[in-house]
A and B are shown apart, each in its own frame.
Chain A
C-alpha cells in the first residue's frame, strides 16, 4: 500500500513554455503533498507544501508565480513550471503525507529545458 505515482518521469521542453507535473496518491488520501527540487548530487530542497482545497505554502526564495501548485483533490496535486528556462532544469519530486509509511515519495520527474 501507499503508492504515489508521478508523471511524466522525463520531459524536455523549449525555453519559454510551461510544463505540468502530476502527483497522484493511488491507494490513500493525501490531504498534504510536498514538492521538492533536487540538483545533481544534492539533497532534496522543499519548494512548497500543498493542502487539498487551499493555497500552497511556498518556502522562502521559491517564486509562487513561476511554480504553480494545485491540489484540487485528495489524490492529485500538480506542479506547473511556467515560462521555463534552462536554469529550471532539475529533478522534481513529490511526496504525499498519509498511508502506513507516513510520507511516500513519487519516482521523480527529470525536467530539461532547452
Chain B
C-alpha cells in the first residue's frame, strides 16, 4: 500500500522567513496530494492541494510543488507569521481505490518565532 514520509518532524523559523516541508510517496498511482494544518485540539484544515496533472499551485503565501517522477511534493510558506505555528500534515490518495482513503505523513510541528 501507499506510504508517505514527511520531513522535518519539527521546524523553527523566524517570523518573516520561509518554511519548507517535504513529503515523499511510494505509490506512483497516487494522484491527489493535500496539505492540512492542525491546531491543538482541533481537526485538520485543508490549506492547499494539488493533483498529479499539475506541477505547482500557489495561494497567496502558500505554494505546493509536485515532482511525479521523483514521487515527492513540498509545501512552501513564505513570509511566515506566528499564527502559522501549528502541525502540518501531507497526505496522498489515488482514484479508484476503495473509498479513496488518504494516507498521511507523520506531521511537522512548525514554530514561528516572533
Residue ranges of A at the interface with B (Cβ–Cβ < 8 Å): 4, 6, 32, 34, 42-44, 46, 49, 51, 57, 91, 93, 95, 97, 101-108, 110
Contact = CB atoms under 8 A, between A and B. Distances in A.
Contacts of A93: 43-44
Interface residues on B, range: 20 to 34
Given A102-B32, A102-B49, A108-B41, A44 B101 contact: no
Nearest to A56: B99
Interface in B88-114: 89, 98-107
A97 B45 contact: no
Contacts, number: 52
B20 interface: no
Dominant secondary structure of chain B at its interface with chain A? mixed
Contacts of A46: 101-103
B99 A34 contact: yes
Contacts of B32: 102
Nearest to A9: B41
A105 B36 CA distance: 10
B99 A103 contact: no
